[in-house]
Chains A and B, each alone.
Chain A
């Protein structure tokens, strides 16, 4: 069975400091992993995705994530937080065998302090 755990419901960082949003997954098969961002009262926007190619994935707005199979993790990072990064972030997993199913984490709310 597939599942996603976002370890922090809320993360707060100062502007200009690094961001780390943690995600662990459980998947019986080769997973596809995604990070989406949601600003208030908006839909979800794809930041990046891993689909069995390079384990270090670069996304939009300076975000990147590294797929670590041994740790079953797909943490999202950014070297320097910007005020506009304040939003809700969701880690999502799907498997390539049952590609019609997407499993959402509970979300991490990122606050950026000026």
Chain B
């Protein structure tokens, strides 16, 4: 099956620093990757949609300068939380879809998530 790997699984950082989270599709090419934020006991909140080689599309209310997304290859997308603050602490999850055909039938393949704690 398709595997999506996220790294790091947990990161603690000081306020004001930047943190990069990687999302890799290990055995398939992901034309589209999605980044979500999840608060405790809540559903996933879509932050942005990332297509390989183009700028990410951010959801309303998500600061693009705060959450930098890069999708430079078909197997890697990165989310960088810049100048992190305690309110950015959350669980961040990525998902990927394969070729365009998969988008119309599902399915999304999810990473294991990355927990960010900002002190």
Chain A positions within 8 Å of B, measured between CB atoms, are: 32, 34, 36, 41-46, 49, 51, 90, 92, 94, 96, 99-100, 102, 104-107, 109
Contacts and interface: CB of A to CB of B under 8 A. Distances in A.
Contacts of B6: 43
Contact of A45 (B32, B42, B103, B110): B110
B43 A43 contact: no
B93 interface: yes
A94 B106 contact: yes
Interface string B25-62: 00000001010000001111010010000000000000
Contacts of B107: 34, 46, 49
B77 interface: no
B113 A32 contact: no
21 contacts: A32-B105, A34-B107, A34-B108, A36-B110, A41-B113, A42-B112, A42-B113, A43-B4, A43-B93, A43-B110, A43-B112, A49-B105, A92-B108, A94-B103, A94-B104, A96-B105, A104-B44, A106-B43, A107-B42, A107-B43, A109-B41
A104 B108 CA distance: 12
A99 B42 CA distance: 24
A43 B46 CA distance: 14
Contacts of A105: 43
A44 B93 contact: yes
Interface in B56-82: none
B106 A32 contact: yes
A105 B45 CA distance: 10
Nearest to A105: B43
Contact of B108 (A41, A51, A102, A109): A102
Contact of B95 (A32, A42, A44): A44
Contacts of B111: 43
